[in-house]
Amino acid sequence: MDVQPTSPSFRAGVVALLGRPNVGKSTLLNHLLGQKIAAVSPRLQTTRRRQRGILSLPEGQIVFVDTPGVHQPRTRLGEGMVRAARQALAGADALLVVAEAIHPPGEEDRLVSAWVGEGGPDKRVVLALNKIDLVPAAAREAPRAAYQTLFPMAVIQATSAATGEGCPELVRALLAALPVGGLLYAEDDLTDLSERDIAAELIREAALLHLREEVPHGVAVRIDQYSERPDGSAYIEATIVVEKESHKGIVIGRRGGMLRALGTTARGEIESMSGRRVFLRLRVKVQPGWRDDERALRGLGYDVRE
């Protein structure tokens, strides 16, 4: 959809979020939108697929594309995640690089810088130096200088997704980087994913929060049924897919305790997201090596096209 701008200065465009894993891209996106649409956890590579988040303001519309963290892939799933990030970069009007103020640039940050450089000199870049609330005021110039050296083309804005510090200034910088134009989505749109898709991510988020060691990285979620009942509530059946029989036992837990805990956490998040009562039924299935199995990846909704 292309709607005429409300004023000659109205700006609209696509902003790709890039950064190494676990720098807070999805948390920052949720904060900017004022609603949780993306799964977040302390685990690396929580985001596995591209998702659009739409911020509509009187002065413009920013269509964020949240991407998986930039890393060196070791599985077919990882290769697809990296490919999704690179494709988002190529199709964006501007780039939002998210980095951590609490750590100096590392190998993956340098990889992000190389990707940004491939976008050409005309690609507008804004860098959110995130988690600035964890850095004393007297020590904030050092990380800014380090990232400015790595991203010389970027406008840098210190931010905190946790406290909101610097976020209004970040939005203004992003709007300034976008072209003048009409709305790309309806003003009340928030994301391009359905409730069903977001529910799957929130169930996986619950698994990431509750499970330990190597188990979470081998977890995927498939929604088998998502239906609305006459009273407005939702009935959801979902399968949690794991790679090993031993992992199935861990996910279920003693007397089903872990699976109940996952369900309670996920149900609360889905109800908060959807604004409706949710009845959630979970089962666990073993699918060995699914992260390297193209057919299995497609069945779980991951894009593995070259």
- Please indicate, yes or no, whether residues 67 and 148 belong to a single structural domain of this protein: yes
Q: If pLDDT is split at 50, 70 and 90, which confidence band does 297 have?
A: confident
**CA pair distance 186, 286, nearest whole angstrom:** 41
Residue 27 in this model has a pLDDT that exceeds 80 = yes
Q: What's the total number of domains in the chain?
A: 2
Q: Torsions phi, psi of 16, nearest 5?
A: -85, 130
- Please indicate, yes or no, whether residues 15 and 98 belong to a single structural domain of this protein: yes
Q: What is the pLDDT of residue 68?
A: 72
**CA pair distance 281, 267, nearest whole angstrom:** 10
The half-sphere exposure of 118 on its side-chain side, counting CA atoms within 13 A, is 12
- Please indicate, yes or no, whether residues 151 and 276 belong to a single structural domain of this protein: no
Put simply, whether the predicted model's pTM sits higher than 0.85 gets the answer: no
Residue 1 in this model has a pLDDT that exceeds 90 = no
Within-domain flag for 111 = yes
What is the average pLDDT across 286-301?
Answer: 82
Q: What is the CATH number of the domain that holds 280?
A: 3.30.300.20
Within-domain flag for 306 = no
Q: State the residue range of the domain holding 134.
A: 11-176
- Please indicate, yes or no, whether residues 154 and 20 belong to a single structural domain of this protein: yes
Within-domain flag for 263 = yes
